[in-house]
Amino acid sequence: MKKIFAIVLMVSMVALLAACGGGSSSPKVFKSTDDKYQVEATAEWQDAGTQLNDSGDLQIFNPRKEKYLLGLIESKEDFTDFTLQQYYEVVSEPFLASVSDPVQGEVKEVTIGGNPALQYKLEGSIDGIQVVYLVTIVETPTDYVQLLAWTLKSKWNDYEQEYNTMINSFKSAA
């Protein structure tokens, strides 16, 4: 009888923890270094400081699972009469050149946080490592923001939806 009670109690505890999601179901907010913008991610993500890029303005990662997101913010004041398309052309060319054997997907017009954006998938290799990026370039009223989410090619299908959700959570911080 005691063994049955212990098993029922253990099963109940596992069911309760599963129903609660283990405490990791609510999104975690990560802000840019200037506190101007934010994205949401699951609790497994952490602030990367400057580990991904010395000049990155928003850097989060989960190195154990090979998940990375980098945000680069540039003031529109620095670009005379630029459109989102022109900014995309200026920043995409050197980025594509930095990837070996790049295969760029279709550039799509999307809306991120109420702002116009261009988005595409990029596959290629860096130092012999096969990677996939989701590149999103957002035009806010005051800035151009590049959001680069990437992982190993073998993990892309598992993470693609999560990356889209994170990118779509991008907005001005309140």
CATH code (residue 93): 3.40.1000.10
Return the CA Rg of the chain. 20
155 inside domain = yes
Residue-wise pLDDT for 71-103, tens only, equals: 999 999 999 999 999 999 999 999 999 999 999
151 inside domain = yes
Residue-wise pLDDT for 40-59, tens only, equals: 999 999 999 889 988 899 99
By the 8 A CB rule, do 104 and 97 touch? Answer: no
Q: What per-residue confidence (pLDDT) applies to 170?
A: 97
Predicted structure pTM score: 0.83
105 inside domain = yes
Number of domains in the chain: 1
Instruction: Tell me the two tokens of residue 68.
Output: 């990375």
Residue carrying structure tokens 């049955």: 4
8 inside domain = no
Contacts of 59 (CB under 8 A, 6+ apart): 47, 48, 49, 50, 51, 52, 53, 69, 70, 71
Contacts of 106 (CB under 8 A, 6+ apart): 120
Q: Which domain holds residue 69?
A: 25-172
12 inside domain = no
3-state secondary structure of 80: coil
Choice among 12-16, 66-70, 76-80, 140-144 with the minimum mean pLDDT: 12-16
Contacts of 150 (CB under 8 A, 6+ apart): 68, 69, 131, 132, 133, 134
Across 124-129, average pLDDT: 95
37 inside domain = yes
3 inside domain = no
6 inside domain = no
